[in-house]
């Protein structure tokens, strides 16, 4: 082998070695960057878990304080006074002003303030949509009924699986709606904020002392005249204890309409809420984490018992 050939060979070997070293350095750098990113992700994930846990416990503390306040309001009176307090719990000053913490928000709502989409009849749904001034009453009612029924046959103005597939949307459950947010998946209900104040998935009789006029209009036998009398008495601060007595203050036609549907009215409504819902939203400002706890409280004599608890 000539000297020139050996020189070129040594030069190629040195170049290969240098290239190998460079690749090793690049690989090490990439591994270091990957490790750094993985470590950062792990730190961020841990921080998020800690923030979520902190927000959860803020919500838990607020919900328990509210339950304690309600218990105190009920226990310091006799049975009759406790019943009256329960009936108008949402208006009680002791409840509305008790929680002003910076780490949580608390809402108190009577069960039956909104119409349950799973148990409402077709007539009730149509009456409600008419009451809120919707022009697409048939379309809304049929689409909601198609979503919750067990078959895949569309009603005249409804929508079943084939329509949602063409529209590339989530198909109907063909079963009762499981969550309030699911209502927004139903055709026509995409702007859920419009319906949030009148629809719910919480089962309960409609509360005469808490439900809106639109919701009460969904009850057969409750004419607009009788609903006006209901709201006049509610505005006076005096709770309604007997619809039959209130019906004596309306015209003969409105009273006949009420009495002809009285069995339905008695089945669908109540002057005392079946339950009160406490929703506490805890938040942690460090990571903007929000957790919600909801309690379903029922009255057990002069105390409030937790019938159901859920969180999200």
Among 23-27, 153-157, 241-245, the least confident range:
23-27
- Residue 295: CB partners within 8 Å, gap ≥ 6? 63, 66, 67, 277, 278, 280, 306, 308, 309
CA 278, distance to chain mean position in Å, is 12
99 lies in some domain:
yes
Whether 279 and 306 map to the same domain: the answer is yes
pLDDT band at 65 (very low <50, low <70, confident <90, very high): confident
Among 34-38, 67-71, 170-174, 305-309, the least confident range:
34-38
- Residue 163: CB partners within 8 Å, gap ≥ 6? 154, 187
pLDDT at res. 102: 62
What is the rounded average pLDDT of the residues 210-225?
Answer: 96
Whether 96 and 59 map to the same domain: the answer is yes
Structural domain span for residue 170: 118-195
Question: For residue 312, which of 284, 275, 282 has the smallest C-alpha distance?
Answer: 282
How far apart CA 233 and CA 146 sit, in angstroms, is: 38
Partners of residue 282 on adjacent β-strands: 104, 291
Whether 91 and 158 map to the same domain: the answer is no
Whether 96 and 123 map to the same domain: the answer is no
How far apart CA 22 and CA 134 sit, in angstroms, is: 71
Residue 76 has pLDDT above 80, yes or no: no
Most confident range (mean pLDDT) of 6-15, 40-49, 100-109, 138-147 is 138-147
How far apart CA 112 and CA 189 sit, in angstroms, is: 21
217 lies in some domain:
no
Q: Report residue 146 as tokens.
A: 């198609």
How far apart CA 37 and CA 80 sit, in angstroms, is: 64
pLDDT band at 28 (very low <50, low <70, confident <90, very high): low
- Residue 185: CB partners within 8 Å, gap ≥ 6? 147, 169, 170
Residue 12 has pLDDT above 60, yes or no: no
54 lies in some domain:
yes
How far apart CA 291 and CA 104 sit, in angstroms, is: 9
Whether 131 and 105 map to the same domain: the answer is no
pLDDT band at 90 (very low <50, low <70, confident <90, very high): confident
Whether 107 and 128 map to the same domain: the answer is no
| Residue 289 or 139, more confident | 139
pLDDT at res. 214: 96
93 lies in some domain:
yes
pLDDT band at 1 (very low <50, low <70, confident <90, very high): low
| Residue 188 or 61, more confident | 188
Q: Report residue 15 as tokens.
A: 């170049």
What is the rounded average pLDDT of the residues 141-169?
Answer: 96
**Where does a domain end: 167, 195, 223?**
195
**Where does a domain end: 162, 195, 228?**
195
Whether 104 and 136 map to the same domain: the answer is no
17 lies in some domain:
no
Whether 139 and 178 map to the same domain: the answer is yes
Please, how many CA atoms are within 13 Å of residue 136, restricted to the half-sphere of its CB?
10
Residue 293 has pLDDT above 90, yes or no: yes
pLDDT band at 165 (very low <50, low <70, confident <90, very high): very high
CATH number at residue 135: 1.10.40.60
**Where does a domain end: 195, 214, 234?**
195
Q: Are 308 and 295 in contact (CB under 8 A)?
A: yes
pLDDT at res. 101: 57
Question: For residue 219, which of 271, 264, 256 has the smallest C-alpha distance?
Answer: 264
Q: Are 103 and 60 in contact (CB under 8 A)?
A: no
- Residue 308: CB partners within 8 Å, gap ≥ 6? 295, 296
What percent of the chain is predicted at pLDDT more than 90?
53
Q: Report residue 226 as tokens.
A: 């009788």
pLDDT band at 37 (very low <50, low <70, confident <90, very high): low
Residue 262 has pLDDT above 80, yes or no: yes
42 lies in some domain:
no
Whether 130 and 191 map to the same domain: the answer is yes
Q: Are 131 and 213 in contact (CB under 8 A)?
A: yes
Whether 104 and 143 map to the same domain: the answer is no
What is the rounded average pLDDT of the residues 17-28?
Answer: 63
Whether 122 and 183 map to the same domain: the answer is yes
Per the document, the length of the chain is 312
Calculate the average pLDDT of the chain: 85
Q: Report residue 158 as tokens.
A: 């409804």
Residue 252 has pLDDT above 80, yes or no: yes
262 lies in some domain:
no
What domain count does the chain have? Answer: 2
230 lies in some domain:
no
What is the rounded average pLDDT of the residues 159-171?
Answer: 96
Q: Report residue 96 as tokens.
A: 């509305």
Among 41-55, 142-156, 174-188, 200-214, the least confident range:
41-55
pLDDT in tens, 112-146: 999 999 999 999 999 999 999 999 999 999 999 99
Whether 61 and 123 map to the same domain: the answer is no
């Amino acid at each position: 082998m000539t000297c020139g050939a050996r020189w070129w060979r040594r030069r190629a070997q040195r170049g290969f070695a240098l290239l190998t070293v460079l690749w090793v350095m690049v690989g090490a750098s990439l591994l270091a960057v990957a490790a750094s990113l993985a470590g950062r992700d792990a730190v961020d994930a841990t921080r998020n878990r800690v923030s979520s846990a902190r927000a959860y416990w803020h919500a838990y503390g607020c919900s328990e304080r509210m339950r304690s306040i309600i218990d105190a309001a009920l226990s310091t009176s006799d049975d009759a006074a406790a019943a009256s307090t329960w009936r108008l719990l949402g208006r009680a000053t002791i409840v509305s002003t008790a929680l002003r913490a910076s780490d949580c928000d608390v809402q108190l709502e009577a069960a039956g303030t909104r119409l349950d989409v799973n148990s409402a009849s077709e007539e009730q749904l149509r009456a409600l949509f008419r009451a809120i001034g919707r022009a697409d009453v048939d379309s809304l009612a049929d689409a909601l009924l198609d979503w919750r029924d067990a078959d895949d046959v569309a009603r005249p103005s409804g929508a079943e699986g084939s329509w949602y597939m063409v529209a590339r949307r989530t198909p109907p459950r063909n079963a009762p709606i499981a969550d309030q947010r699911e209502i927004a998946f139903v055709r026509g209900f995409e702007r859920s904020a419009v319906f949030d104040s009148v629809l719910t998935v919480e089962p309960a009789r409609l509360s005469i002392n808490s439900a809106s006029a639109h919701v009460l209009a969904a009850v057969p036998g409750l004419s607009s005249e009788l609903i006006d009398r209901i709201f006049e008495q509610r505005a006076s601060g005096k709770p309604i204890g007997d619809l039959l007595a209130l019906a004596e203050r309306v015209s003969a036609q409105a009273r006949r309409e009420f009495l002809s549907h009285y069995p339905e009215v008695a089945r669908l409504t109540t002057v005392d809420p079946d339950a009160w819902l406490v929703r506490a939203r805890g938040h942690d400002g460090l990571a903007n984490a929000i957790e919600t706890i909801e309690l379903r409280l029922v009255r057990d004599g002069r105390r409030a018992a937790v019938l159901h608890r859920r969180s999200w």
